[in-house]
Structure 1
Amino acid sequence: MPITRTNTLLPPEAEAPQVRLGTLVNLRWLAILGQSVTVLISSVLLDLEFELGLCALVIGTGAVANLAIEAFRPGNARLSVRSAMMFLLFDLVQLSAMLFLTGGLNNPFALLFLAPVTISATALSLRATMTLGAVGIALITLLAGYHLPLRLSDGQILELPQLQLVGFWLAIVIGMVFLAGFAYRLTLETERMSNALLATQTALAREQKLHDLGGVVAAAAHELGTPLATIKLVSAELADELADHPDLRADADLIRSQADRCRDILRSMGRAGKSDHQMRSAPLEELIREAADPHSNRGIIIHSTWNALEGADPRMPTLNRLPEVIHGLRNLIQNAVDFAKTEVWIDGRWSDDTLIIRVIDDGPGYPPEVLHRLGDPFLRSRRRKGYVGMGLGLFIAKTLLERTGATLSFANGSSVGRQPPATRGGAIAETVWARASLEVTDRAVLGENTPITD
């Protein structure tokens, strides 16, 4: 069951990543510098014989290409996936030309084939990385058999034994596949988590605005109740009086003064209003009802129960109305309603030290293959065909609720130790708090409402 339906963000692989041109240009300059130093050291200090002029030409080609790019494109330009892939493909070909002139696969610097493919895995799409990897494997295979020999000063050819040459080729290919796969997976997970956290922050900001709006409405009703009632009363009296009655003047003055008072109150509330102290806390019952309310008219029956565990104080605890708690519980309830057949149960329980809220449905339960991964972002299940959820709902709920000190656990009705009734054998989402982390213990003095400045 529950992999929450949320289309807030697309997974990163569905988007077209873009790479900063300046980054690739700087990496190429670094490669050119390394090639130049290596060629000079090999020729002057190690006294190796190879086509020095052609090597200089290949290195110069890379430098000219970089200079041309810098002349016609700003460094902060963003390349499309295709353009970035062509950029790295040029680097692969240039590296292959250098290795062709300096011993091919017998040159230990053939390991540098790993670099362009790994860079592609961290910045480009999977298709572009696979294309560069296939080209790299093809080029390194050709270099194993076709290359100019690398000679010592006495004419001896530096050449690996056949078995070592095959082993070196295999090591490069395996390293290329492994590093590219690892880098791509790590980058993908990082982007997914970043996008999921952004969705969480957006959801929390929205819930905070709704929370503040609730305070505004409560403050307006509380503050404006008396003057508006007075205006209504005086207006009714005036309607019964004649227009030229002398007592109406006093009533008219009263209406004017009350209207002025309404104006002053509205002005004091400001653009965002006041934070009503009575809205900062609510009984557990009201908190659960508020979280479930948006899903009460979706054709699923929602049952809410609350009671103390054995030996606990039977009085219902009063809790802080934290936006994180309300939105997190709302996501868990939405998830249950999405997959329920006909009914959802929300059970609130408390002891002297612990507060527990369980959300249970009569649906098919969580898919076993993803049960241990629930709460991860962009989680998909192939069991539910036609359902396009990405797991963001549960991730947001888990992130927000854990921020308040809660511990979340997920199970199916058939897997928990205390078997629920048969109709409640679907998915179970349990949230547990230390009671002291949410409970409001001092409500003696509410004080005056204070303006909201954010």
Structure 2
Amino acid sequence: MTSTMDPMLPRGDWLRLHTLVNLRWISICGQLSAVAVCDRVLNIHLPLGACYLTVILLLGANIIFAMGNPGNRRLTETEALLTLLFDMSQLSMLIFLTGGLSNPFVLLILAPVVIAASALSLYTTIALSLAAAVWVTVVTVWHLPMVLADGTPLQSPDLFRFGFWLSMVTGIAFTSIYAHRVSAEARRMSEALLATQMALAREQKLTDLGGVVAAAAHELGTPLATIKLVSTELMEELRGTPDLHDDAGLIRDQAERCRDILRAMGQSGKDDSHMRQAPLETLLRDAAEPHLSRGRQVHFRVAPASDGAGPMPSVLRRPEILHGLRNLVQNAVDFSRAEVWVDATWTEGEIRIRISDDGAGFPPQILNRIGEPFVRTRRPAERPGYDGMGLGLFIAKTLLERSGARLRFGNAVAAPPGRRRPARTPRGTGAVVDVTWRRELVESEPGPLRQNSPLLP
């Protein structure tokens, strides 16, 4: 499956101007309150004129932003970078005026970095992180000290200031990396889940469409047969009139064509009331059918796991099961050399499907990550020209687990030279995927099927 969404595209257009304007109003209120409390309550002498001028600068900029642009406007990457850089510089200037690292609010310099790491590209995050480190260093070396009520300057010991500076720089680096990785992972998962929902919706639509066509073919069978019968009789009666005889033959041929078209279209869905369930082998062949003519031998083996397992179960033809198994078969066919095996067994309590191939298998270093979005599970050399996004197995795993399945990914073990492979080991030498359900989750209820509802009253 391919997608038009690239998880590595710049994310500047994710930030709305309205969001940053609201955050600035909160910042302005906080800064004015902090300066007022220091002056009126704590009796700490500050350069009030310069402090209020710095806050008014931010206030004026926010008013210009709010009034000069629509609130729903989304910022470009460059605009977001410059906006956050301006906010960081304004806050750093206020920190410079109020004691440098002795001011506990110096931690707020991290805020623009966290915003960039969460919503912008890696390069913008690095740029803001470097700017934050530079500003922290500047206010550490140069700043105006806060003066207490008795005239004593409030200064921290040099060792404490160095430790605080080191912790701030380390915190900037760690926070930016951590927030960027977490937000990138969340975006990738969101995009992958969206692709999964689209795949399931498409499968459901195809299944529903097939059901309608199958029901239409069933309901139209009788009138089409009647048309064919009557037209055949007319042909017999009109043998002496060539023109009318040919017209009757045309009617018969077109009726047969309608029947063939409906039958062919019905093969894509098969979800009328009589086909909502199917034997396990039929379900497997339907899931693998689009990949049976792609130049690989696909072998099916369906057998009970033991003598007491009973007859072949009839399972529900749910779209998520069909699409999930189809993706697993597609992955095996894509990366096999010549053969793919689809084995199904069942016991009294479980149904197990194993899909294996004779390819090179999954790379050992990513076995524990198989099923995550945008992880390419095979080596590019195994399939030249393949440019997938690594969503196939994620979609299959998500859909099958939604149906209650347990999945296990691994590689087959080749038999040692001169020795036979143990009977219980997977076939082939490539990748192996085991899918297991509890029977009550996917097995259809026994009993007669209800009649189809007629298309027309």
User: Residue 308 of structure 1 aligns to a residue in which SS?
Assistant: coil
Is 1:12–2:16 an aligned residue pair?
A: no
Matches within 5 A, 1:106-255: 106-242=102-238
Task: Check whether the contact 2:341–2:427 (CA below 8 A) recurs between aligned residues.
Answer: no
Number of the residue aligned with 1:401: 400
Superposition pairs of residues 316-331 of structure 1, within 5 angstroms: 316-331=312-327
Letter of the 2:3 counterpart: T
How is 1:220-369 mapped onto 2 (pairs within 5 angstroms)?
A: 220-242=216-238, 276-369=272-365
CA, structure 1 residues 306+242, in 2 after alignment: closer, same or farther (shift >3 Å)? Answer: closer
TM superposition shift of 1:345: 0.3
Answer whether contact 2:356 2:427 (CA < 8 A) is retained. Answer: no
CA contact (8 A) 2:101 2:139 kept: yes
- C-alpha change, 1:450 and 1:391, in structure 2 (3 Å) is farther
C-alpha separation between the residues in 2 aligned to 1:10 and 1:351?
43
Gap regions ≥5 residues in structure 2: 263-268, 416-420
Q: Contact between 2:414 and 2:429, CA under 8 Å: does it hold in 1?
A: no
**Gap change, CA 1:426 and 1:419, over 3 Å in 2:** farther
Q: Deviations over 1:255-303 (max 9, x none)?
A: 9xxx9xx9xxx9xxxxxx9962122111111111111111112111111
1:396 Cα deviation after fit: 0.8
Q: Name the SS of the counterpart of 1:338 in structure 2.
A: helix
Partner of 2:374, secondary structure, is coil
Alignment partner of 1:448 is 2:444: no
8 A Cα contact 1:325 1:401, kept in partner: yes
Contact map agreement 1:274 1:450 (CA 8 A) in 2: no
Task: Give the CA deviation at 1:437.
Answer: 1.6
**Residue 424 (str. 1) matches residue 419 (str. 2):** no
The aligned residue for residue 435 of structure 1 is 439
Give CA-to-partner distance per residue, 1:229-250, whole Å, 9 cap, x none. 22111111112214999xx9xx
Larger RCO: 1 or 2 (CA < 8 Å, sep 6+): 1
SS in 1 for 2:91: helix
Instruction: Classify the secondary structure of the residue corresponding to 1:13.
Output: coil
Question: Can you list the C-alpha shifts for 1:139-161, whole angstroms capped at 9, x where unaligned?
Answer: 11111111222222333221111
Distance 1:110 1:166 in 2: 14
Aligned partner letter, 2:319: P
Query: 1:414 maps to what in 2?
Result: 413
SS in 2 for 1:449: coil
Q: Is the 8 A contact 1:413 1:420 kept in 2?
A: no
Equivalent residue letter for 2:413: S
Q: CA deviation at 1:213?
A: 2.3
Secondary structure of the corresponding residue to residue 75 of structure 1: coil
Distance in 1 between residues matched to 2:223 and 2:454, nearest whole Å: 20
Hey, what does 2:33 align to over in structure 1? 37
**How high is the sequence identity, in percent, across the aligned residues?**
49
Q: Is the 8 A contact 1:360 1:426 kept in 2?
A: yes
Q: Does structure 1 conserve the Cα–Cα contact (< 8 Å) formed by 2:279 and 2:315?
A: yes
Count of residues in correspondence between the two structures: 426
1:378 aligns to what? 374
CA distance in 1, matches of 2:119, 2:344: 47
Per mean C-alpha deviation after superposition, the further-off stretch among 189-198 and 149-158 is: 149-158
- 1:164/1:382 Cα in 2 relative to 1: closer, same or farther (>3 Å)? farther
CA distance in 2, matches of 1:298, 1:181: 44
Helix, strand or coil: the match of 2:380?
coil
The one-letter code matched in structure 1 to 2:11 is A
Looking at structure 1, the residues matched to 8 and 205 of structure 2 have their Cα atoms a distance apart, in angstroms, of 32
Aligned pair partner of 2:18 in 18, 22, 25: 22
SS in structure 2 opposite 1:348?
strand
Do the aligned residues in 2 keep the contact of 1:22 with 1:77 (CA within 8 Å)? yes
Which amino acid in structure 1 is aligned with residue 159 of structure 2? Answer: L
SS in 1 for 2:343: strand
Q: Aligned pair 1:64/2:60, yes or no?
A: yes
Query: 2: CA distance between counterparts of 1:313 and 1:35?
Result: 74
Query: What is the CA–CA distance in structure 2 between the aligned matches of 1:312 and 1:131, rounded to whole Å?
Result: 67
Q: 1:411 to 1:274 in 2, by over 3 A?
A: closer
Task: Measure how far apart 1:214 and its partner are.
Answer: 2.1
1:168-191: per-residue Cα shift (whole Å, max 9, x none)? Answer: 001111222222222222211221
CA contact (8 A) 1:405 1:437 kept: yes
User: Residues 121 and 184 of structure 1 are in contact (CA less than 8 Å); yes or no, is this contact kept in structure 2?
Assistant: yes
SS of the residue 1:424 aligns to = coil
- Specify whether residues 154 and 381 from structure 1 end up closer, same or farther in structure 2 by C-alpha distance, changes over 3 A only: farther
Write the distance in 1 (CA, Å) between the matches of 2:117 and 2:195: 25
8 A contact 1:49–1:152 mirrored in 2: yes
Q: Which runs of 5+ in 1 are unaligned?
A: 1-5, 267-272
Q: Is the 8 A contact 1:21 1:78 kept in 2?
A: yes
User: What CA RMSD, in Å, does the superposition of the two structures yield over aligned residues?
Assistant: 2.7
Question: By how many angstroms is 1:310 displaced?
Answer: 1.0
